[in-house]
Amino acid sequence: MQKYIMHIDMDAFFASVEQLDNPELRGKPVGVGSLHKRAVLSAASYEARKFGVRSAMPVHQALKLCPGLQVVSGSRERYKEISRQVMAVLGNYSPVVEQASIDEAYLDITGTEKLFGPPLELARSVKRDILAATGLTASVGIAPVKFLAKIASDLDKPDGISIIEAGQVQEFLKTLPVEKIPGVGKKGLPRLRSFGIRFAADLRRYPAAFWKERFGERGLVLHEKGAGIDPTPVTVGSPMKSSSAENTFGEDVSDPHVLKTLLLKQSERIAADIRKHGLKGRTVTLKIKFPDFRQITRSRTLENRTSNSGVIFRTGCELLDGEGVLGPVRLIGIGISNFGERVRQLSLLDDEHGREDSERLDRLDKAVDQVRLKFGRNILTRGRLLEDERKD
């Protein structure tokens, strides 16, 4: 049976949602971001892309390229709402749906012909249903393996369908620029160029051992992709590996109090996020970026897993204090990971009161989550944050 993997990629998703919700933005160049001088765009509409504007571009640079750019802050919750609608549509066509990000997903549609017709017909039906459910367009790529399906979805954007049949793979790889292969970054490309590699199929000029010696295990994966081989399956419900939050300042910040206030807000956000998924993490990571773009990360693994914002915050503060006087900071962030179960040996010296306090804090956090879910995030604010607002 011929294997078919489908990749669905929403077109300029964040910007398209903003144009959907605000008719005045339709047909105009739109960027999603903020206007402080160090902000970068998280999305750009196709009207903006005609001017060379793209996601991850500094806003000030985007405005130079396109003075008429409409910059909007966007709503993460709204994007999540639309994303859920898209994923619900996809679930009607295959039980094997892997959400790769908020605006893209893979489906294994092997053997669905009797239900939905040939892959091309199925793709048209998926696009039609997404449009009906959300008012937005999507682009679809179909191929025998995942990485080619992802590449195919980008061949006819926006609102397109591209299919690479099994018998077309080798010819396709002969003209596919090697940098189009997911995972080939800007740093690795010059090295590939030095070996005379221009197209994906060129990777087969050298044996697997050659690539392993120079790139390790990633080299073996690259060698296989040069032949159109990708054994990676479409997986349902890929487990969450980490949760993090960060803020880039409009002006460099040196005040530790300001930095810790941001860490508190971020800790609350990521703690609520992992609680929503029923997770607890053990490794807290602090991220700091300086004005010269130098970056440091510091991590600490806790004795016990936690989803408590206070524990995450205190750990982040301890990591920050451990760095001494930092000077100006451009960005600060905090994250939590290592959600796997850890076998814990109980000791006769365990602190019973400590466990009770932890359980009490867990119950308190969950109660706060419920109140905020019902009445809005700002209905409850920590005393420390209220004190900061009074000082301001």
- Residue 77's Cβ-count burial label (10 Å; 0-12, 13-18, 19+) is exposed
Structure tokens at 216: 């390790």
Point out which residues pair with 101 in neighbouring strands: 104
- 1 three-class SS: coil
- 185 three-class SS: coil
Q: Which of 190, 221, 191 is nearest to 208 (CA)?
A: 221
- Residue 164 has a CB neighbour count (10 Å cut-off) of 22
Element (H, E) at 102: none
The rounded distance, in Å, linking the Cα atoms of 205 and 219 is 13
In SS3 terms, 228-280 reads as CCCCCCCCCCCCCCEEEEEEEEEEEECCHHHHHHHHHHHHHHHHHHHHHCCCC
Structure tokens at 78: 């709204």
- Asked whether the beta carbons of 305 and 281 are under 8 A apart, the reply is yes
Q: Which of 158, 137, 159, 139 is nearest to 150 (CA)?
A: 139
List active site positions: 104
- Asked whether the beta carbons of 326 and 289 are under 8 A apart, the reply is no
Strand order in the sheet with 5-10: 97-101, 104-108, 5-10, 138-143, 161-163
CA 40, 288, 319: angle at the middle one, nearest 5? 150
Strand order in the sheet with 43-44: 43-44, 30-32, 70-72
Please list, residue by residue across 95-126, b when 16 or more beta carbons sit within 10 angstroms of its beta carbon and e when fewer do: ebbbbeebbbbbbbbbebeeebeebeebbeeb
